Amino acid sequence: MTASAAINTLIDLEPRLSHGIESSDYLQLEIVADAEGQSGDVRDVLAIRSLQKWEIGISAKNNHRAVKHSRLSRDIDFGEKWLNSPCSAKYFSEIKNIFDQLHEFKVNSKSTKKWSSLPNYHETVYLPILNAFKSEMLRIFELHPDDTACNLVNYLIGNQDFYKVIKGRNKVEIEAYNLHGTLNQSFNNIKPLYNTKKIKLPDKLIDISLVKNSKTTLIVTLNEGWQISFRIHNASSRIEPSLKFDINLVSSPNAMFKHTLSVSN
């Protein structure tokens, strides 16, 4: 029922899904390899009409809205990977001792030591890592003020336009990430039933700050209506020398198309 509702709405948004030029104008569906996500393509499924040189992508989510689950470690250069600007030696120096200690805990316990055995790890691990991450983000934004905000959203949201389909309890949500203007095209004289405007990428940082009374979550606020939360956490109950971010959009541009359908299970 959820899939049917989503497909019907996507057909209303994209007439080419149900209209071909001729009988040989096949609609192909392809699953996107997970490896593509590492290079910034977050789409899970592609709908392609080769004869029309047209495709759209869909990102499917089941009961969650996270945009990324990126990691930090003593070796991961998030600046290079996310923002096209390498992290500084100072950043790696600030985080090294913490991740080295986590590595020792893992090795000495033969991967059995748990986070719950560490007293106050939110204060001794999470918070200093978050502060180092925040300082390095601010440094890169200051170094490249014109590009970093856009690079960050392209990394987190994806470098290709796509529709996000989110299955929830008794509902399905569809969002159009029409960042480059490739979605919502007419087919000859057949126009989409709904209009999805091209939305603006940010080009300025407004603020980076910890959520009040939180030792785990940073909020990055950019212009054009973009606001992103970064919640740091351990991905396993056992100690590992890396930490994971649960990254979510807190807000997005008002022009973004969002459509919610009620469905019965």
Domain regions of the chain by residue span: 2-64+158-199+255-262, 71-152+202-251
pLDDT at 265: 61
Beta bridge partners of 61: 166
- CA dist., res. 47 & res. 39, Å (int): 20
Q: Each residue of 15-46: pLDDT tens digit?
A: 999 999 998 999 999 998 765 555 567 889 99
pLDDT at 261: 87
Q: What is the DSSP letter of 124?
A: I
Cβ 231 vs Cβ 67: under 8 Å? no
- CA dist., res. 132 & res. 90, Å (int): 9
Which of 12, 6, 4, 16 is closest to 55 using CA atoms?
Answer: 16
Cβ neighbours for 166, distance < 8 A, ≥ 6 positions apart? 61, 63, 64, 65, 172, 173, 174, 175
Our CA dihedral for 8, 9, 12, 18, rounded to 10 degrees, sits at -40
Which tokens go with 41? Answer: 């393509």
Q: Each residue of 76-118: pLDDT tens digit?
A: 999 999 999 999 999 999 999 999 999 999 999 999 999 999 9
Cβ neighbours for 165, distance < 8 A, ≥ 6 positions apart? 6, 10, 58, 59, 60, 61, 172, 173, 174
Q: Each residue of 159-176: pLDDT tens digit?
A: 889 999 998 888 999 999
Q: Which residue did the predictor score with more confidence, 112 or 3?
A: 112
CA dihedral over 217, 58, 40, 38, signed as positive or negative: positive
The phi, psi pair for 43, rounded to 5°, reads -70, 140
What interhelical angle do 148-157 and 127-143 show, nearest 10?
130
pLDDT at 127: 96
Half-sphere exposure of 23 (CA within 13 A, CB side): 0
The phi, psi pair for 63, rounded to 5°, reads 65, 25
